[in-house]
A and B are shown apart, each in its own frame.
Chain A
């Protein structure tokens, strides 16, 4: 083991922690760290993960609050809330949310939740915290790049947050920022300065996500401890690996699209603009194509939904196996289906564009490829259910959220089959059916994966447990609430009720849904309140939670539970443990669990 240090022990300082991975003297004796280097400009992957998580939580509160505000408008279109005018001034004149404000809220809700919470907050958090701990490394391949990744995210957050306060308001053309609306400042208030802030913020965000993704990939491929072959890795690692791969290959394309949009906005070019009249003014732009932007956008946009979902898939697989006290069913099928989803993610973007005048012949291929995603998804569901089957299930909060995730993944996935058909999509496109579909399968399901992860790994992060009573209230209200909010939307969507409208009261055919809308809004507020309970639980438990007394509170096999309860920078005080088996030897040969570090016994049965 020590000979490995000879060959590459004299490299750059940034990689010091990764390269001395097998050094004998270890890392228990630390140099004194200042507050700044420990909590702010930290290069420790665990601290960076926590920074991502807490920033993500703050964004989730803001993004969630926005949805409460616009649900208020949708549920009570005729009522005036003077308090809104006090808070938001001209944006809520007369106590009612103005149209511009509504669009800004919806756009920011989408942007914040999709990118800042479920991309950075989810994979940023768990990739950082789990990768070195689960593969057996001292830290990431480059701790410095990792730190930059967080601070670029922070900068992106600052710019996006600042855009909420400019006079003309933040971007308001939808989170997909389609041109020409987003390209022409004179077209709407939100397309003015707010849009520039949005683009700058997203460019910074993309840089952050690329720096992070590069690091995750090269850490997983290069810094695994002795014996940790790829097929012995926990499924969380596989999921995060594919997530990073998706991000690294798709985000640059969004950047291309955004650069061209910046040109159109600020330099008067015509990439996306052609023959447009705005408010009586004839624009000189000629020959551009707005559809071109959609292609560039959705080439990222579709992989993006898997960037959001895959980490949840991985964490749920791990948590289900640990808490069923059973090996994961079909490990290789799980890896294979992740891979299949990853490949298909790049081949289905045009299913977002069936109604753009896409050639129906071409559309047929995208329908086929889209429906193919049902196959790996079904494999995953089957394997989760068979993992649960006859398991010795422990209903910890993490386990409940994982089971809830499966439920949501099934119900949301089924409606995907409806929408993936180009013929059905003509009717369903831009209706509440779509809203229901992606909120259940991507939004709420990924949130459940994230909650499961937080409940499961909180003891590792802070050395304390979250409060169980609050956790159970959080789970049940959120699960029931999510269904009560989004299930009815399928019906109104099938009836043709369109998205992106502030008020249907003058629209005879959709008046009938007014009571339902009010109901949805009420539930949304209750569910939001329960999320605040979770946030309280989170911060309260960091300081006052029940202390973890054993290194392996869940009886899990993976390497992170072989570290001390509060691991320092470098994770293991002595040698990094060697791995001798896969991560899923539960209930084997009469033993409840066998950690990965235990050598294979002479008379051990094969798994």
Chain B
């Protein structure tokens, strides 16, 4: 019987598997976006993008949040519930902070008189906004998932120590983190 169990353990949880397929799907969307960007970049009237300083800070924030979500998972597995909730909250706050920093970063363009949208805007900066904005929405989705997990952990009448939901959320969180790193390098590289 123990052999059967270990065999089952090697099999991936269907929800986790679903997430991996979903990640593939999201990747296709950003692949579509960045290839459109590359095509557009090779055409006339392209402006070189200046990455605002704030994006470095937001990058550091989202990297840090990846660490905290991993620590939260570790705490949950060790049943350190207070730590777990704290780290979950920190991760969610870092996620929101990331989005705020991104928005501040885009605000800096206005100060430099660079139009992102509307008359006089250039597709290069519009792309930066569209792609980062789409990414931000995905981060926001991760925040919502964390909040739902946190509320469930506080409210549920039966104590559940299943780590599967958080494992799924953490994988997703690392994914949006890695996705941003990719986009960040992409924008720096492909001005």
Give per-residue flags for B1-45: 1 if the beta carbon is below 8 A from chain A beta carbons, else 0: 100110011011111011001101110111111001001100111
- The reply to whether A270 and B121 form a contact with Cβ atoms under 8 Å apart is yes
What is the total number of residues of chain B having a CB less than 8 Å from a CB of chain A? 44
- The reply to whether B36 and A292 form a contact with Cβ atoms under 8 Å apart is yes
* Closest residue on chain A to residue B34 by CB atoms: A256
Stretch at the interface among B65-73, B122-130, B181-189: B122-130
- The reply to whether B25 and A252 form a contact with Cβ atoms under 8 Å apart is yes
What is the total number of residues of chain A having a CB less than 8 Å from a CB of chain B? 50
Q: Which of B4, B40, B120 contacts A7 (CB 8 A)?
A: B4
A299 interfacial contact with B, CB 8 Å: yes
Q: Which of B9, B40, B130, B165 contacts A289 (CB 8 A)?
A: B40
B111 interfacial contact with A, CB 8 Å: no
Give per-residue flags for B164-189: 1 if the beta carbon is below 8 A from chain A beta carbons, else 0: 11000000000000000000000000
Give per-residue flags for B117-151: 1 if the beta carbon is below 8 A from chain A beta carbons, else 0: 11111110011001000100000000000000000
- The reply to whether B17 and A221 form a contact with Cβ atoms under 8 Å apart is yes
Residue picked from A6, A15, A270, most chain B C-beta under 10 Å? A270
Are A15 and B15 CB-contacts (below 8 A) given A4-B4, A289-B43, A292-B36? yes
Rounded to whole Å, the gap between the CB of B104 and the closest CB of chain A is 20
**A316–B14 CA distance with the chains assembled, in angstroms:** 29
Rounded to whole Å, the gap between the CB of B163 and the closest CB of chain A is 10
B46 interfacial contact with A, CB 8 Å: yes
- The reply to whether B43 and A12 form a contact with Cβ atoms under 8 Å apart is no
A18 interfacial contact with B, CB 8 Å: yes
B112 interfacial contact with A, CB 8 Å: no
- The reply to whether B36 and A255 form a contact with Cβ atoms under 8 Å apart is no
* Closest residue on chain B to residue A215 by CB atoms: B18
- The reply to whether B14 and A222 form a contact with Cβ atoms under 8 Å apart is yes
**A40–B40 CA distance with the chains assembled, in angstroms:** 46
A10 interfacial contact with B, CB 8 Å: yes
8 CB-based A-B contacts, threshold 8 Å: A12-B164, A14-B15, A217-B21, A253-B31, A268-B117, A269-B126, A271-B123, A287-B45
A interface, CB within 8 angstroms of B: 3-4, 6-8, 10-12, 14-15, 18, 141-142, 145, 210, 213-215, 217-219, 221-223, 248-253, 255-257, 259-260, 263, 267-271, 284, 286-289, 292, 295-296, 299
> Nearest 7 CB-CB pairs, A to B?
A252-B29, A253-B32, A256-B32, A287-B45, A7-B8, A267-B117, A268-B118
B interface, CB within 8 angstroms of A: 1, 4-5, 8-9, 11-15, 17-18, 21-22, 24-26, 28-33, 36, 39-40, 43-46, 117-123, 126-127, 130, 134, 162, 164-165
